[in-house]
Amino acid sequence: MPEAATTTAATPRERRHATTVLVIGTGGSGLRAAIELAEAGVDVLVVGKRPKADAHTSLAAGGINAALGTMDAEDTWQQHAADTITESYGLADPRTVEIVTRNGARGIEDLERYGMPFAREEDGRISQRFFGAHTYRRTAFSGDYTGLEIQRTLVNRAAALRIPIIDSLYVTRLLTADGAIFGAYGFDVVTGERALIHADAVILAAGGHNRIWRRTSSRRDENTGDSFRLAVEAGARLRDPELVQFHPSGILEPENAAGTLISEAARGEGGILRNALGERFMPKYDPERAELSTRDRVALACYTEIKEGRGTANGGVWLDVSHLPRETIMRRLPRVYQTMLELQMLDITTDPIEIAPTAHYSMGGVWVRPEDHSTDVPGLYAIGEAASGLHGANRLGGNSLIELLVYGRITAQAAAAYADALPAQVRSAAAVEAARAEIDDLLAADGPENVRALQRAIRNTMTEHAGVVRDEAGLTAGLAELDAIEARIAQIGIHPDIAGFQDLAHAFDLKSSALAARATLQAALERRETRGCHNRSDYPETDPALQVNLVWSADGTVEHEPIGDVPEEIAALMREVSVAGKLVE
């Protein structure tokens, strides 16, 4: 027997759990769903692969949207819906948008009820500020650490409700029998102990796939496409995996922090973008708004400067705030100042920051129905960044966090109702055995290929061929590279050691990333147009015939899914909104 198998034999082979609803993911969406279930008296278990206090949601900075009208009384959910659909370049699902915007105020009330410390005006109203292309001030916040406070609030509420959370459990497979969900399988990332979880329904809240690019604002080992693989292997499909939001300004160094965001507030406060020749380039791309242009346009401008040879030696451009008064920087950009000192020993009051576009948010995701976020697989639901439907080809800043709150609640209710209505549940010993065998096989793998190196290879391929600008030749080359990488994945070696079973976790991350990369490349090939975040240099125009969602299946087919009509009351409010003075992130 190989050494790894001996290691696992020493630990209990498998721990069994049984629950009504299993939630995979301890970020904002997963916790919100779990709270809804626990408050309704429904048995729930939450699992995650990293410490719950530190889930990806805690990184969110700028704020959370709802048309509360606390600052601008004219605001309505209909206007919020109109702004969301306009910003999506027509690809958002109008029913999903309506559900999120109508229920946004309820989402904020829920957070208040759990004790969220929102910033408030002197008279006690929740403060709301401008964020990106919103018509009115509708972004509620807590300093510049809104996500952290939301995560803390939800973790505390979950603790008060005594919700069981295992945040060291890596889910490797969803379990299905006769096409319906009956649980999930995984292992503990510290001890290697296996877990077999029986559940009536499963809510997948395991994040997106933007870590498959070289520069990403995601945490290390998060957003590796796990939701995509778990759902697809269970029989679900993906919608618009090619639609990925690139943030204009991620740092380049150090390598292990590449992609860490420099807040858009740096441009909002008067920061200037220059290429390696010292030229201020934004007026060339957007003469009116220059650095205050929209996120997708600034990302494209930076990309173009770099691609056309006017970038720095490291492949970046310069973001300069050093001309601003020192007090402005210390007061308005304290996090940027601190981050750059900590990561690069760079003083932004005197030196420019080297930045490049960075993968930031998966706007596509698992195909779900708008009403309840159910998938094609009975008993399987997907929420949060794992799901799709709200953002289309460009996400309105602050909409992701409210989506977690709204669909966390609605989907939990739907999953509980599904469980209630189950007359009996079929299970499959063969499915469990296959899940066990998958881990056994990986632990026994002692080939020459290194998991980390292959993750890097995927990230290089995606950055080279499916970044801010794409074309047919590049995407086709990307798929060929991916074929070669997948052949190498068959030759990996896994070496769990006393530090835990991270190597095994990374191997599963790698499998997920490969699937997410393939879906992204194939859907990007099919979208022969330029729209929002998706720039095809060989198809520079928007094609009205492609105002559809692209639905990807495991066999590589990509279907065109029509988008419903925008209700008249919302359509009447749609217009392009200026972002000037609203870059706060």
Ligand X SMILES: Cc1cc2nc3c(=O)[nH]c(=O)nc-3n(C[C@H](O)[C@H](O)[C@H](O)COP(=O)(O)OP(=O)(O)OC[C@H]3O[C@@H](n4cnc5c(N)ncnc54)[C@H](O)[C@@H]3O)c2cc1C
Catalytic residue (one of 157, 209, 267, 373): 267
Contact indicator for 520, 462 with CB cutoff of 8 Å = yes
* Nearest-approach distance from CB 235 to ligand X, in angstroms: 17
The question of whether 456 is a catalytic residue gets the answer no
* Nearest-approach distance from CB 560 to ligand X, in angstroms: 26
Return d(Cα 333, Cα 434) in angstroms, integer: 52
Residue 21 makes contact with ligand X by CB under 6 A: no
Residue 335 makes contact with ligand X by CB under 6 A: no
Measured from the CB atom, the residue of 243 and 479 that comes closer to ligand X is 243
Q: How far is CA 257 from the centre of its chain?
A: 18
Measured from the CB atom, the residue of 373 and 470 that comes closer to ligand X is 373
Measured from the CB atom, the residue of 363 and 577 that comes closer to ligand X is 363
Q: Burial, 95: exposed, middle or buried (Cβ in 10 Å; 0-12, 13-18, 19+)?
A: middle
**Residues binding ligand X: number (CB under 6 A):** 41
Q: How far is CA 320 from the centre of its chain?
A: 28
Contact indicator for 550, 559 with CB cutoff of 8 Å = yes
Radius of gyration of the chain (CA): 23
Query: Which residues in the 258-277 window bind ligand X by CB under 6 A?
Result: 261
Residue 311 makes contact with ligand X by CB under 6 A: no
Interface pattern 382-421 for ligand X (x via CB under 6 A): --xxx-----------xxxx--x-----------------
Return d(Cα 255, Cα 370) in angstroms, integer: 39
Measured from the CB atom, the residue of 96 and 275 that comes closer to ligand X is 96
Query: Which residues in the 423-462 window bind ligand X by CB under 6 A?
Result: none
* Nearest-approach distance from CB 178 to ligand X, in angstroms: 24
Q: How far is CA 39 from the centre of its chain?
A: 27
Residues belonging to the chain = 585
The strand order across the sheet containing 244-251 reads 244-251, 353-362, 317-320, 272-274
Both tokens of 309, joined, read: 């040879």
* Nearest-approach distance from CB 500 to ligand X, in angstroms: 15
Query: Which residues in the 24-83 window bind ligand X by CB under 6 A?
Result: 24-30, 47-50, 55-57, 59-64
Measured from the CB atom, the residue of 396 and 577 that comes closer to ligand X is 396
CA 106, 107, 111 angle in degrees (round to 5)? 115
* Nearest-approach distance from CB 535 to ligand X, in angstroms: 22
Measured from the CB atom, the residue of 25 and 316 that comes closer to ligand X is 25
Phi, psi of 364 (to 5 degrees): -85, 180
Residue 168 makes contact with ligand X by CB under 6 A: no
* Nearest-approach distance from CB 338 to ligand X, in angstroms: 15
Residue 226 makes contact with ligand X by CB under 6 A: yes
Residue 299 makes contact with ligand X by CB under 6 A: no
Both tokens of 77, joined, read: 């959910």
Measured from the CB atom, the residue of 57 and 70 that comes closer to ligand X is 57
Contact indicator for 35, 25 with CB cutoff of 8 Å = no
The question of whether 323 is a catalytic residue gets the answer no
Interface pattern 195-224 for ligand X (x via CB under 6 A): ----------xxx---------xx---x--
Reported in sequence order, the residue ranges of 306-408 that DSSP labels E, i.e. its strands, are 317-320, 353-362, 365-366, 380-382
Contact indicator for 104, 77 with CB cutoff of 8 Å = yes
* Nearest-approach distance from CB 262 to ligand X, in angstroms: 10
Query: Which residues in the 130-149 window bind ligand X by CB under 6 A?
Result: 146-147
Residue owning tokens 């957007």? 286
Query: Which residues in the 501-560 window bind ligand X by CB under 6 A?
Result: none
Both tokens of 470, joined, read: 């794409």
* Nearest-approach distance from CB 529 to ligand X, in angstroms: 25
Measured from the CB atom, the residue of 19 and 218 that comes closer to ligand X is 218
b/e sequence 367-388, b meaning 16+ C-beta within 10 Å: bbebebbbbbbebbbbbbbbbb
Catalytic residue (one of 134, 152, 247, 335): 247
DSSP string, 319-346: EE-TTS-HHHHHHH-HHHHHHHHHHH--
Return d(Cα 334, Cα 491) in angstroms, integer: 47
Q: Enumerate the active-site residues.
A: 247, 267
Footprint of ligand X on this chain (CB under 6 A)? 24-30, 47-50, 55-57, 59-64, 146-147, 170-171, 205-207, 217-218, 222, 226, 261, 361, 384-386, 398-401, 404
